[in-house]
Structure formats: C-alpha cells, structure tokens
Copies of this chain bind each other. A is one copy, B any other.
Amino acid sequence: MIKLTAQRQAILDMINASDRHWDADELARSLSDNGQPIGIATVYRGLATLEAAGLIESIQLADKKRYERADKAHHDHMICTVCGDIEEFAHAKIESLQLSVAAEKGFTVTGHQLVMFGLCERCSQGEQK
C-alpha cells in the first residue's frame, strides 16, 4: 500500500498552497528553504506517486514536467514564450469537439493536452512600439 510519509505530505502541501506550476527542482529548492529538505530523487518519486493517486496534476512541457494542484476543474494552458507565464483557460465546447473527433475515428481518449504558445497580454504590448 502507499504510505503517507512526511516527504510526500510536504510536497503535496507545497503544491496545494499556491497556483504555480512547479518543476521538481523548484519544489526541492523551495522545500529546502522551508526547512524541509527532501532528496531530489524522492521529490521525483513523490510527484509521480501523488499524480498516480490523483492528488496533483501535471503538464508535460518540452524540457520538463510541471505539477499543479488537482483541486481545480480541468483546464488547458497558454504559455508566454517571452516571460514564461502560464495562463489557464477552460472551454467546454473545445473539449466536447475533441471527443467527437476522436469518436469519429474510433479512438478512445484517456487524456489530452492542449497548449497554446505566444505572448501574454503584458508581453504583447512592449512588443511592437
């Protein structure tokens, strides 16, 4: 059975305490700064375990995986390629259209990831001008 350890609890608490999308290293550093140093390997394992248990969620970016709270409704992301800001959005119609397209092809969807890249509002302004 899965054991509730202080390390896993610390990781989960840290993630649930904010709306950030954390990568393993940021989490390890932050935990360390909070007087709860946890081995980096344990952080990776803890994140995987917590995600498998449905307690946290993740998005797979080009170079690394980022984790966030799971107590929010499903949503997708827009990532600013200038400042790195990650914005969230939810669109029921897009979700249902995805499923219908899959169904047409006999594809059984178990998960999906939609990410838009571009410039966030702030970065769009400084842009031209």
A residues neighboring B (CB under 8 Å): 60, 62, 65, 78, 80-81, 87, 89, 91, 93-94, 97-98, 101-102, 105-121, 124, 127
Contacts and interface: CB of A to CB of B under 8 A. Distances in A.
Nearest to A115: B113
Given A114-B114, A119-B107, A97 B87 contact: no
Most chain B CB within a 10 A radius of its CB, from A98, A105, A108: A108
B120 A107 contact: yes
B102 A111 contact: no
Nearest to A63: B60
Contacts of A102: 78, 89, 116, 118
Contact of A118 (B108, B120, B124): B108
Contacts of A105: 78, 87, 89, 121
17 contacts: A60-B62, A78-B107, A78-B109, A94-B97, A97-B97, A105-B121, A106-B120, A106-B121, A107-B116, A107-B118, A107-B120, A108-B124, A109-B117, A110-B119, A112-B114, A112-B115, A113-B114
A124 to B, nearest CB: 5
